[in-house]
Amino acid sequence: MVNALAIDVGTSSVRTAMVSTTGAVTHVFQRKLTITSPQPGEVELNATEIGQAVLELAARTIDEGGPCVAVGVTNQRATTLIFDPLSGSPLGPTLGWQDLRTVLDCLVLQSEGLRLAPNQSATKAKWLVINYGSVSKEVRFATIETWVTWLLSNGRHHITDRSNAAITGLVTSDVTRWDERTLGLLGLELDMMPKIVDTIGDHGVASALTGAPPITALIGDQPASMFGQSIVRSGAKITFGTGAMLNMVRGHEGPTTMTPYDSGCFPIVARSHEGVVTWGIEGIVLSAGSALDWACDELGLLDDVATSDSLATSVPGTDGVWFVPALAGLGTPYWDFGARGGFFGLTRGTTRAHLVRAILEGIAHRGADLVDAAERETGALIDVLRIDGGMSVNRFFIQHLADITGRTVEVSSEREATTRGAGLMALVGAGLISVDDVDNLWHPTTTVAPRLSDGDRLASRQQWRTMVSRVERTIPELSAVSF
C-alpha cells in the first residue's frame, strides 16, 4: 500500500493521517488547539502549540502507519502570524481567520482605494508588525502552511502556495507575485513575504520527519476539501465546519481582481501545477458549526453538539421561531460585518428543542444562500450538492438542507475531506495518481433527496429573507466595511 502523509491544521485542531492511492484515510491522530478571545471579536491561537502538535502527531502517524512517499499540508486559510527566522520563534499571537480586530483598519483603507476584509491576512499582518515587529531585527510573514513547511524543513523553506496566497489580500490578480503597492500601504516589506509556489510541486523535504519524505502539496483547506470530494472539473460542495464554505471549479481563466463578484462569491485558486492555475469560486458562511458550539457552551441548550439531531426531531417544527446565524456577521451574498445573530418569534411556549431546531434550520438556509449565489455567479445549475464537515453527520440538518435548497445532497464518506484531499494531492505531486484518478474516487456514504414541495420551499425562503433583513446593519459602522 502506497501512502502519503496528510497534515491538516484546521480552525480548532491538528489532524494527521495516511492517505492511500485508493483514497482510504487511516492512522488518524488529532489534537485540539487552544483558542482564546481576549476581547469580543478577537480570535487567537498559539503558533508554537500548532508546530508541536504537527510534529508530534506526524511522527505518530508515520510510526504506526509505516513510511510515506510524500507529504501534503492543508490548513485554515488567512490565519496569520509573524516569526523571527533566526530563532524560529513566533512573534506575538497567531490571529485566527475569524478575528475582527482590524475591521476599522479595513474601513480606513477603503478611502485609499484598498478593499480588504478583516478575515483576510493583510490587515492582520499589519497589526502584528506594528505590535510585535520591533521585537526582532528580522520578521517573516506566514500563513499556517508556510509555518508548517518552515518547521518540517527545519527552516530551509519559506514558501506559500497559490491557494493560500490568493486570499491574503496581498497578491496580484494572477497570484504570481506580491502586490507591492498594497504592501507599501500596509507598511509591510517585500523581504518578509514567502515565495509563492504551485499547490502541487517539489516543495523540499520534510527533514524533521523520519525518512525525510518530500513535500509535494500545499493547499488551503477548502480547495483541499473540494479535491477530497473529487470535485476536480465540475460540481459543488459545501463544508459545514466552524463556518460553511461552498466551492466550485471554474476553469483556467482567471479573474481581473481578487475582490468579490456581484454575486457575493469570490475567486479562489482550486489548485495549480507546473504554473497552470485551475480557478474556482467560493461562498462563505461565517457562523455554522460555531453557532451550535455557542448553543452548547454558552447557552447550555445542549449537553453535547451531537445531541442536536435528536433534540431537533423531538418537536414537529420550530413553533414559529427563526434564527439567523450571524454571530460574526454575514458573508456571502450579503457581506455585512455589522450584522449580528438573532432569534425571532419567541414566545412563553418556546422550548430549547425549538431553539436548537431553529439554529439548524437557519444554518441550512445560509447553505441555500450559498447555492443561490453560486448559481447566479456561474450560470450553472447545481443539481447535486456534496457536503462534508462536522455537521455532515447530523441527519436532521442534512434533510433540511436538501429540502430548503431543493437539491439532492450527497454526504462524503470522509467527514474531514480536507485531510483526504491533502493526501491525494500529495500523491498526484509524487506522480503516483492522476487528477483523472481522483475524479473517479467519489463514493458518498449517504444520498438524501428533498421532500419539501416547491411552494413550501419558496415560501420559507421568502420568509428567511425577511428575517435576514432584521439583523442587517446591527452595527452600522462595521456594515460600512466592504472588500
Q: Cell for 380? A: 450553472
Question: At which residue does the C-alpha cell 488518524 appear?
Answer: 28
pLDDT at 204: 97
The CA distances from residue 128 to 44, 85, 424, in Å, are 12, 15, 34
Judged against a pLDDT cut of 80, whether residue 1 lies above it is answered with no
Question: What is the enclosing helix (H) or strand (E) of 19?
Answer: strand 13-20
Judged against a pLDDT cut of 80, whether residue 483 lies above it is answered with no
For 421-471, the pLDDT digits (tens) are 999 999 999 999 999 999 999 999 999 999 999 999 999 999 999 999 999
Overall average pLDDT of the 384-403 stretch: 97
Judged against a pLDDT cut of 90, whether residue 328 lies above it is answered with no
Task: Kindly give the residue spans of alpha helices, DSSP state H, lying in 19-121.
Answer: 47-65, 103-110
pLDDT at 34: 95
Q: Cell for 82? A: 509573524
pLDDT at 428: 98
Q: What value does the mean pLDDT of the chain take?
A: 96
pLDDT at 477: 86
Q: Among 56, 100, 79, which residue's Cα sits nearest to residue 331?
A: 100
Q: Cell for 45? A: 491561537
Q: Tell me how far apart the alpha carbons of residues 58 and 40 are, in angstroms, rounded to a whole number.
A: 34
For 225-261, the pLDDT digits (tens) are 999 999 999 999 999 998 999 999 999 999 988 888 9
Judged against a pLDDT cut of 80, whether residue 148 lies above it is answered with yes
Dihedral angle computed from the Cα positions of residues 132, 136, 142 and 146, in that order, rounded to the nearest 10 degrees: -150
Question: At which residue does the C-alpha cell 500545499 appear?
Answer: 218
Overall average pLDDT of the 132-151 stretch: 96
Indicate the DSSP class of residue 63: H
Please, what are the domains in the chain? 3-222 (3.30.420.40), 230-411+452-483 (3.30.420.40)
pLDDT at 259: 85
